[in-house]
Amino acid sequence: MKIAIGADHGGYSHKEAIRAHLVKRGFEVKDFGTYSEDSVDYNDYAKLVAESVRDNKYDRGILVCGTGIGMSVMANKVSGIRAALVHDLFTAEATRLHNNTNVLAMGGRVIKESLALQIVDIWIDTKFSNEERHIRRIAKIDSYKGE
């Protein structure tokens, strides 16, 4: 599995730990930045990661900012992206099992690094259920173009 990862200054530390963790697990990881704790705009990194997933260059994306909110909002603006903001183990599993999310967003100022790594593992390892009701609901999400 190929994973794209990105963060702003508020998520930089967690991103570095997640990147190292994923590499240790044997995944191919592309780090889209940021590369320090200097202030940057989260939007730019969310867009890069989400577009790389949309374009099938990477299988999934992981984003970390201070709260995860901005990253998830921005990623969901990209067609074909189903990003979920996750801060606990239950939703890490449910968002893959039921929603087949392809981008995970977390808040570096909201959760501890150790929990972030557990969330990543669950999110990566959980397969989509392929249940008809979930397939139908995802199709509705993917077909909606807004007004």
- Of 9, 65, 87, 134, the catalytic one is 65
Domains of the chain: 2-143 (3.40.1400.10)
Question: Is 65 among the catalytic positions?
Answer: yes
Q: Do residues 83 and 76 lie in contact, with contact meaning Cβ atoms separated by under 8 Å?
A: yes
- Of 21, 87, 98, 134, the catalytic one is 98
Q: Do residues 71 and 86 lie in contact, with contact meaning Cβ atoms separated by under 8 Å?
A: no
Q: Which residues is 107 bridged to in the sheet?
A: 65
Query: pLDDT digit string (tens) for 33-71?
Result: 999 999 999 999 999 999 999 999 999 999 999 999 999
Query: pLDDT digit string (tens) for 111-140?
Result: 999 999 999 999 999 999 999 999 999 999
